[in-house]
Structure 1
Amino acid sequence: MKTLIILAHPSATSFNAQWAHASAEACSGEVLWSDLYAMGFDPIECAAHYGRSSDSFDPLKSQFEAAESNALPNDVTNEINKLREADRVIFHFPLWWFGPPAILKGWTERCLAHGEMHRSDARFDSGLCKGKEVLFCVTTGASAIESGPAGKEGDTNMHLWALAYTLRYCGFTIKQPLLLHGIHGYFEGDSEKKLEQRCKAMLAGQKQAIDGWSEIPNVRFNADTDFDEEGQLKLNSPSYTPFIRHTIAAKDLS
């Protein structure tokens, strides 16, 4: 199995970076790397990447036309080639301001290019990356309690839903994320020692997690057939997330 590891953290000595290397060491097959900050990856999609005027720049059209003529920017092409080679992708990043770092959001906007990684007739269940799997390995600064469903910081799994659904759009299967909470540099004394112990335990357990890849549950999404011709969830279809739910009042069903 070929694995692509995508790291989005500006420090090479961060726990996120150490965790990414632990993932790489745990993989038995070939490992590909995208260390976005180390690469100096440009997260901003703009006309300059395509030699166009910004006055009338249409990102989707520009991506599609560049894909058709094999003229996508080199940094994007390199990432697409790695995605195509990989059987699975492991993302390592911290949660900042209730979402992934901007560099990772920009990576999705540029590298999941229209015409190469998705088309109007190839998305969701028929996505071009069908059969490939994704795992998020994520740290938060808040505690596990604060990051839970009833926590003040909001449910981390919900904060990750947009990124998960972006990849689901392209056909990827998404695994339940591995989360480590309360990771920040303001601990002192005994609290700092406990943090170090937790981090070491997570790193030590990464091989077991990767070896048990097939046992990690998949995030559930609605199938294409769960929606009607207008793209609305059918009344008899299940809802797996508050982001896609039934909104018809009970009186309207009687």
Structure 2
Amino acid sequence: MTTTLIVLAHPERRSFNGAWADATDRALRGQGDSVLWSDLNAMGFDPVEAPSHYDRPGDPAPFDVLKAQEAAAKANALPADVTAEIDKIRRADRIVFHFPLWWFAPPAMLKGWSERVLANGALHDADERFDAGRCRGKTALFCVTTGSKAAESGHDGKEGDVSMLLWPLAYTLRYLGFDVLEPRVVHGVHGYHKGAAKQALEQRLHAVLEDHPKTIADFDRLPRIAFNRDTEFDADGRLRPEAHSHSLFIRHRP
């Protein structure tokens, strides 16, 4: 049986993001999968990494996030909320993330979840990352909404290329060893539509939810984001001249 973790990052459970996450849940259960949930805002998850999360009595050294996480992981003393999320990730074969893009990035809640939960020593270390990542064999999908129109979100769009805005989060998961699918993005989702425009949006969103079971059924056949393999970088960590560049984030010098 396949186990999928749904991670929802939206403060309004009745939002389209919430309805889309529910559609993922129904589709997964309909095909017999096991489903785990992390509705981060509803959980009251604390997205801010801080010394207060760790037992450091009398420690005069400045707080070092990586060292604190590593020491806590080795001592089985990571914060309880982090441990619970790590357990879900370890149990899951897939993660489906549902979130909006705000200010050209995923919500702060999701960024903070990444900073705290993807803990050094627990889900990665200096030797087990990228091609050797501890999450090899797991797959992630982003189901994303934007307020901007599709044309504005393209490679030449005024709002910026949505694939590049999502790349840092995708590469975060790649760092852990995940395969990351090409995102599913629904544009023009905001509350300022009126009249016919509002009705058209509602019809469009309804169609997305109706079609979503097909996406879930085809999950293992969906296209993946291409990343460079470890062997395509030299000893200094630079892309080798003969290696193909898959993103403007990692490219050859002009």
Bin the TM-score by the shorter chain.
over 0.9
> CA offsets per residue over residues 19-69 of structure 1, 9 Å max, x none?
000001111211000000000000000000003369610000000000000
Q: TM-score, with normalisation over the residues of structure 2? A: 0.96
* Aligned counterpart, 2:11: 10
* Aligned counterpart, 1:252: none
* Aligned counterpart, 2:78: 72
Is there any run of 5+ residues in structure 2 with no aligned partner, and where? Answer: none
Among 29, 45, 51, the alignment partner of 2:49 is 45
Change in CA separation of 1:54 and 1:197 when aligned onto 2, cut-off 3 Å: farther
Is there any run of 5+ residues in structure 1 with no aligned partner, and where? Answer: 250-254
Equivalent runs, 1:182-221 vs 2, <5 Å: 182-221=188-227
Distance in 1, matches of 2:219 and 2:90, equals: 20
Distance in 2, matches of 1:221 and 1:2, equals: 25
Q: TM-score, with normalisation over the residues of structure 1? A: 0.96
Match status 1:107 vs 2:108:
no
> CA offsets per residue over residues 1-21 of structure 1, 9 Å max, x none?
100000000001000000000
| Number of residue pairs the alignment of both structures matches | 248
Conserved in 2, the CA contact under 8 Å of 1:47 and 1:54?
Answer: no
Equivalent runs, 1:84-163 vs 2, <5 Å: 84-163=90-169
> CA offsets per residue over residues 167-199 of structure 1, 9 Å max, x none?
100000000000000000000000000000010
Change in CA separation of 1:69 and 1:147 when aligned onto 2, cut-off 3 Å: same
> CA offsets per residue over residues 101-160 of structure 1, 9 Å max, x none?
000000000000000100100000000000000000000000000011111001101000
Distance in 2, matches of 1:124 and 1:26, equals: 30
Equivalent runs, 1:217-232 vs 2, <5 Å: 217-232=223-238
Distance in 1, matches of 2:72 and 2:62, equals: 16
Q: Secondary structure at the match of 1:206?
A: helix
Q: Secondary structure at the match of 1:19?
A: helix
Q: Secondary structure at the match of 2:78?
A: coil
Conserved in 2, the CA contact under 8 Å of 1:48 and 1:54?
Answer: no
The aligned amino acid for 1:35 is D
Q: Secondary structure at the match of 1:56?
A: coil
Distance in 2, matches of 1:157 and 1:221, equals: 13
* Aligned counterpart, 1:31: 35
**1:226 CA displacement:** 0.1
* Aligned counterpart, 1:237: 243
The aligned amino acid for 1:99 is A
Using the aligned pairs only, state the percent identity.
Answer: 55
Distance in 1, matches of 2:207 and 2:248, equals: 33
Distance in 2, matches of 1:190 and 1:216, equals: 34
Q: CA RMSD in A?
A: 1.0
Distance in 1, matches of 2:129 and 2:55, equals: 28
The aligned amino acid for 2:117 is C
**1:214 CA displacement:** 1.8
Distance in 2, matches of 1:62 and 1:237, equals: 36
Distance in 2, matches of 1:215 and 1:121, equals: 30
Distance in 2, matches of 1:113 and 1:6, equals: 17
**1:91 CA displacement:** 0.1
**1:215 CA displacement:** 2.0
**1:237 CA displacement:** 0.6
Q: Secondary structure at the match of 1:184?
A: coil
The aligned amino acid for 1:88 is R
